[in-house]
């Protein structure tokens, strides 16, 4: 497993990030795993050299953070051996103000995440969405205070417009506060709108790009059908995937499957290998609810795509409406 710096920051990360969203409360989603079911998958990731684990407070209302913290304490000898990333924004209760990026919510949410994770610091603390109701100055000052207090090591952003990221970076720099070092965004072979403005901005500003949904919620594994539904539990019970992708995306899937057949590889490995060719991408965030999901992600690191194959994979793409920031 190769390890690289996250953008121009000093934080060293593995070239794969294990997404922990599907681990926690099995009553919330049919495909979620509890602690015991998640343990062998996370152990295999650790054995393979994965050192970055991404969760969020809102995932299963804190259960994902609890499972993440417990497993990482079990599987690593030292806290300094792994990087834990979590997020803040979404509501954790029905109480007024228990959401967004206000100073009050950010500081309270960070403390709550630390308790659930069972650690004294968060390596990468990310704003999950842009908060239109809170001045960005208030948010960036609150995040800076967490870094200065030693509760957070680095700051990251997720799913916003490029102008919003640029504004946040400018506000932080102008006031001498810590800036974002990473962007976690929706980016894959079937959704490439981030290449227009966000990725160039990240390259210019030195942010590492950590794409989420690198397999387009299973679309790029070949498990979904043009007429709807799919061959897996998640593909049959995932309304968000229906709204995120359009019928024309299956032209991309057809090209992907054709290349995969020629290479003798599963489509998932080829789709992940393509992401690795993209400028600015540090590491995709890969979710795994079955051992084979993780094995495909690991195998993709050994797969190289030449320029002709990349061109064939990209040719069928059609522009989309921008999604994700809202």
Catalytic positions: 59
What long-range pairs does 91-98 form, CB within 8 A, spacing at least 24?
A: 91/58, 92/57, 92/58, 92/61, 92/62
The position carrying tokens 């054995």 is 47
- Number of neighbouring beta carbons within 10 Å of residue 12: 12
In the chain, what is the straight-line distance between the N-terminal and C-terminal CA atoms, in Å? 34
Distance of CA 86 to the CA centre of its chain: 10
Token couple for 119: 């650690």
**In which element (H, E) is residue 181 found?**
strand 180-184
Among the listed residues 105, 74, 210, the one whose alpha carbon sits nearest the alpha carbon of residue 154: 210
Q: What does each C-alpha distance from 263 to 122, 252, 259, 260, 275 come to in angstroms?
A: 40, 17, 6, 5, 17
- How far apart, in whole angstroms, are the C-alpha atoms of residue 69 and residue 56? 12
């Amino acid at each position: 497993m190769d390890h690289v710096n996250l953008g121009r920051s000093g934080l060293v990360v593995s070239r794969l990030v294990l997404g922990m969203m599907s681990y926690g409360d099995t009553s919330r989603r049919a495909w979620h795993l509890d602690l015991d079911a998640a343990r062998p998958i996370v152990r295999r990731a650790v054995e393979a050299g994965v050192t970055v684990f991404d969760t969020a407070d809102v995932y299963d209302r804190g259960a994902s953070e609890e499972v993440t913290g417990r497993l990482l304490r079990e599987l690593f000898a030292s806290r300094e051996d792994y990087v834990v990333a979590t997020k803040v924004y979404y509501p954790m209760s029905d109480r007024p103000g228990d959401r967004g990026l206000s100073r009050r919510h950010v500081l309270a949410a960070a403390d709550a995440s630390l308790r659930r994770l069972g650690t004294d610091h968060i390596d990468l603390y990310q704003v999950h969405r842009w908060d239109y109701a809170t001045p960005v100055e208030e948010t960036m000052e609150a995040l800076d205070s967490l870094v200065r207090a030693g509760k957070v090591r680095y700051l990251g952003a997720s799913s916003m417009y490029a102008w919003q990221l640029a504004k946040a970076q400018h506000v932080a720099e102008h006031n001498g506060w810590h800036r974002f070092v990473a962007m976690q965004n929706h980016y894959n072979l079937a959704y490439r709108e981030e290449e227009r403005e966000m990725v160039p901005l990240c390259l210019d500003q030195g942010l590492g790009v950590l794409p989420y949904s690198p397999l387009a919620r299973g679309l790029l594994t070949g498990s979904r059908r043009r007429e709807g539904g799919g061959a897996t539990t998640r593909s049959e019970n995932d309304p968000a995937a229906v709204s995120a992708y359009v019928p024309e995306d299956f032209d991309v899937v057809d090209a992907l499957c054709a290349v995969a057949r020629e290479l003798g590889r599963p489509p998932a490995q080829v789709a992940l290998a393509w992401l690795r060719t993209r400028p600015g991408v540090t590491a995709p965030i890969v979710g795994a609810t079955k051992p084979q999901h993780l094995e495909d992600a690991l195998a993709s690191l050994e797969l190289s795509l030449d320029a002709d194959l990349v061109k064939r994979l990209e040719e069928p793409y059609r522009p989309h409406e921008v999604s994700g920031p809202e």
